[in-house]
Amino acid sequence: MVGGDPTPVPGRFDGDTALVTGSTRGIGAGVAERLAAEGANVVVTGRTAEAGEAVVERIRDEGGSARFVRADVRDPDDVAALVEATVEEFGGVDVLVNNAGVETDTAADEATMDDWEFVLETDFRSYWLCAKHAFAEMDRGAVVNVSSNHAVLTMPEKFPYNAVKAGIDGMTRAMALDFGPNVRVNTVNPGWVAIDRTTGEMSDERRRELEAIHPTGRLGTPADVAGVVSFLASDDAAFVTGANLLADGGRAAVMQDDTLPDYRRRRDGD
């Protein structure tokens, strides 16, 4: 449906196994639910068992196949055990979605070593380690790294988050070369996505302001990102690897925040 929520493609991943990191909530949960709706056996993972089991229950209630495996992807031993558990449960790995992420509201001259290590170990090193371990179990398939539009444009006090997101795009290109030809690797770069962390305490006025600076006229949803992840992981993207795909509602096309609302008011004669 044009303009509606992305619609799952039944059977797209029948018989495949998908491992989705950071999938106990937000974008990751949306991705896990989408891949399960398309037939994949899904491993949901994160640090909070209660939240992870809730995602698994929603998937199973819809007729899907899923299991929760607790892991802290900052721990290399946990990463190795996570992939091993996935293989033991479902026989292999066909799709890896690296999604685990954290951020700190710090500037480059204010960030501490603790900030640096917290973000890099979660958002960057874990992507490499998960991909490295998963690749050893993949005869074919796809890796999708979830980055951010902060990789190409950013705001103050988002360091080292913004630097790491740009690094993920570079990591994707390196992996595409080294994991090919049978395993493709791509990045999706979401923009503003309405989840508890980003909009949970946002005022209605602020949300309307943000919606107005998007050509789509709205913020994204986990389902929007999940639809792009599904495409990149599927055979529909069989000739796509080493690519970065912005899913930001057109935000990167706007040079100044006031341009689009002012233009629309003039166009509509208000």
pLDDT (mean) for 172-181: 98
pLDDT for the residue numbered 79: 98
Residue in 90, 124, 161, 192 annotated catalytic: 161
Q: Is residue 262 part of a domain?
A: no
pLDDT (mean) for 75-91: 98
Q: Out of 31-45, 147-161, 224-238, which region has the weakest mean confidence (pLDDT)?
A: 147-161
Specify whether 127 is catalytic: no
pLDDT for the residue numbered 1: 41
Q: Tell me how far apart the alpha carbons of residues 164 and 173 are, in angstroms, rounded to a whole number.
A: 14
| Domain range enclosing 94 | 17-203+217-254
User: Would you say residue 183 has pLDDT above 50?
Assistant: yes
Which domain CATH number covers 189? 3.40.50.720
Neighbouring C-beta atoms of residue 167, cutoff 10 Å: 17
Question: Taking the model in full, what pTM does it have?
Answer: 0.92
Q: Is residue 135 part of a domain?
A: yes
User: Would you say residue 184 has pLDDT above 80?
Assistant: yes
User: Would you say residue 126 has pLDDT above 60?
Assistant: yes
pLDDT for the residue numbered 262: 74
Q: Is residue 60 part of a domain?
A: yes
Contacts 24+ apart (CB under 8 A), 15-18: 15/39, 16/40, 16/41, 16/94, 16/95, 16/141, 17/41, 17/42, 17/43, 17/86, 17/90, 17/91, 17/92, 17/93, 17/94, 17/95, 18/42, 18/43, 18/94, 18/95, 18/96, 18/97, 18/233
Give percent above pLDDT 70 in the chain. Answer: 96
Token couple for 130: 């998960």
Q: Is residue 111 part of a domain?
A: yes
Q: Is residue 208 part of a domain?
A: no
Per-residue confidence at 200, pLDDT binned at 50, 70, 90?
low
Mean pLDDT of the chain: 93
Token couple for 247: 């899913």
Per-residue confidence at 233, pLDDT binned at 50, 70, 90?
very high
Q: Tally the domains of the chain.
A: 1
Q: Is residue 259 part of a domain?
A: no
pLDDT for the residue numbered 138: 97
Q: Is residue 103 part of a domain?
A: yes
Q: Is residue 162 part of a domain?
A: yes
